[in-house]
Amino acid sequence: MVITKAMVEIIIRRIEESKDKLKDESNTRGSIIDPILQYLEWNLVNIDEVIREKKTSSGGKVDYELRTKDKKLYVEAKALNSNLSKKHQLQTTTYAYEDEVSYCVLTNGNHFQIFDTFQKNFDQRLILEFSLTDENLLIEKKVEYLNFISKNSVSQGILTKLNEYLSLKEKVGEAVDYLLLNPNETFVDLINDQIGENFDKTYLTEAIIKIGNDLNALKSYEGDSSLPFELIPEDKMVERSKEKINYLIERLPKFKEMFLLLHEGILDLGDDISEHLYEKMNSVTFKRDTEFCTVKAKPYNHQIRIFLKFGEVTPDISLIKGIELEPLAKSMRWGRVNYRINVVKLAQVNDALNLIKQCYDLQLKWRR
């Protein structure tokens, strides 16, 4: 490790003290980003190692080009209070792509986004995202994540190893999720052998699927994990929801109108809907017999993302006009989720609710 907990704590205090003062990129770089890079052992006065305002192939300028013997890392900086928008992400990754730099970083000194430049799908380029002032992220993790962009890590190709690990982790997780929700005969036999008891195959298959659904629910649940998800008293869940929805709106005031309209519109679909709010994820999941949609605020992208569970059913897109329906991979951690929509303005809420209602109505077909 290069940067230490003590160093990160110093930076966090500086961020907190400067959040109302650092309103431009130049001072953010000087007060926060430069010290971080120095902690990460980048020699800012050595032009063979750090080039500022590096001119790119297209004539643009990237804020930092960090060099080792045979590797480079581009770092694009923004003002401390700036949101890291999709426009900024495209700018950063385009600079890196033009100059054949494999990895690049977008940061406002507090929030960091690390990208794999050469992923064909833009949505898959982001490999790591974190904030130094995130109270839910352990200080040890902040140290670990920052050290991924240290001089030593770049020199050793640690970002490539991290990217390969994260990709494999996701694929293994998706494969396990798929097998739990769609167990084949070989998988059921393997589980039976490991248990050491001769269960009825139909019963065991149904139990595996139920466990898979429970595990998917627990993955996104950030509350009292001392109880299994389905055993948490309903009155406790309702009480928790009432407490947290106000917290969520206060934390994300720019989404207030859209969030309230979506929240009210979804609950109005039926009296059988339950909701679970996840403070860490800035999201709320709605459930009938099973989860049918998740509404998640993305403050750095200025949008609300809605993940929809249609299974093998094709949604009727004739009911929507001002919103784009994005298909997702079937085998993923969200279970039956296979579509996503992005809501960025109030005019799109009605279209979103039309799609969510279709998901709600599908629950009758999925009852076990």
Q: Would the pLDDT of 34 be above 90?
A: yes
Question: What domain range includes position 85?
Answer: 5-156
Q: What is the pLDDT of residue 337?
A: 58
Pair 298, 304: CB distance under 8 Å: yes
Q: How does pLDDT run across 106-126, given as a tens digit for each residue?
A: 999 999 999 999 887 777 789
Residue 203, SS3?
helix
How confident is the model at residue 353, as a pLDDT? 92
Q: Which of 46-60, 204-218, 242-256, 307-321 has the highest mean pLDDT?
A: 46-60
Does residue 5 register a pLDDT over 70?
Answer: yes
- Cα 79 from Cα 155, distance rounded (Å): 28
User: From edge to edge, which strands make up the β-sheet containing 283-287?
Assistant: 274-278, 283-287, 291-298, 303-309, 337-343, 325-327
Domains in the chain: how many in total?
3
The DSSP bridge pattern shows strands 291-298 and 274-278 to be unpaired
pLDDT-derived band at 36 (thresholds 50, 70, 90) equals very high
Asked if 330 contacts 338 with a C-beta cutoff of 8 angstroms, the reply is yes
Looking at residue 46, what DSSP letter applies?
-
Percentage, residues of the chain above pLDDT 70: 84
Residue 335: pLDDT above 70?
A: no
Average pLDDT, integer, range 291-319: 81
Out of 219, 241, 262, pick the residue that ends a domain.
219
Q: Is the pLDDT of residue 224 over 80?
A: no
Please tell me the total number of residues recorded for the chain in this structure: 368
**Rounded-to-integer distance, Cα 37 and Cα 147, Å:** 10
Annotate 78-112 with DSSP letters as a single string: --TT----HHHHHHHHHHHHHTT-SEEEEESSSEE
Instruction: Report helix, strand and coil shares of the chain as percent, to nearest 5.
Output: 50, 20, 30
Q: Is the dihedral of CA 344, 77, 68, 152 positive or negative?
A: negative
3-state secondary structure of 120: coil
Q: What is the rounded average pLDDT for all residues in the chain?
A: 81
pLDDT at 43 (0 to 100): 95
pLDDT reported for residue 232 = 39
The CATH number of the domain where 101 resides is what? 3.90.1570.30
- Do residues 211 and 243 both lie within one domain? no
Q: Summarize pLDDT for 133-182 with one digit per residue, the tens.
A: 998 889 999 999 999 999 999 999 888 888 787 778 777 877 888 888 88
Closest CA to 185 of 197, 177, 193: 193
Nearest Cα to Cα of residue 40 among 150, 154, 148 = 150
Could you tell me if 40 and 141 lie in one domain?
yes
My answer on whether 359 and 250 are in the same domain is: yes
Q: Which of the listed residues 156, 186, 201 is the one where a domain comes to its end?
A: 156
Helices (H), the chain: 5-18, 25-28, 34-39, 86-98, 139-147, 151-156, 158-181, 185-195, 201-219, 234-251, 256-267, 349-362
Q: What is the pLDDT of residues 238-276, one digit of tens each?
A: 444 445 556 666 767 777 888 888 888 888 888 788 887
- Are the C-beta atoms of residues 91 and 105 closer than 8 Å to each other? no
Q: Indicate if 168 and 268 belong to the same structural domain.
A: no
The phi, psi pair for 253, rounded to 5°, reads -60, -30
> What would the two tokens of residue 338 be?
């296979």
If asked whether residues 340 and 262 sit together in one domain, one would say: yes
Co-location of 263 and 341 in the same domain: yes
Residues 147, 268 within the same domain: no
Domain end residue (candidates: 219, 234, 264): 219
Q: Does residue 212 sit in the same domain as residue 233?
A: no
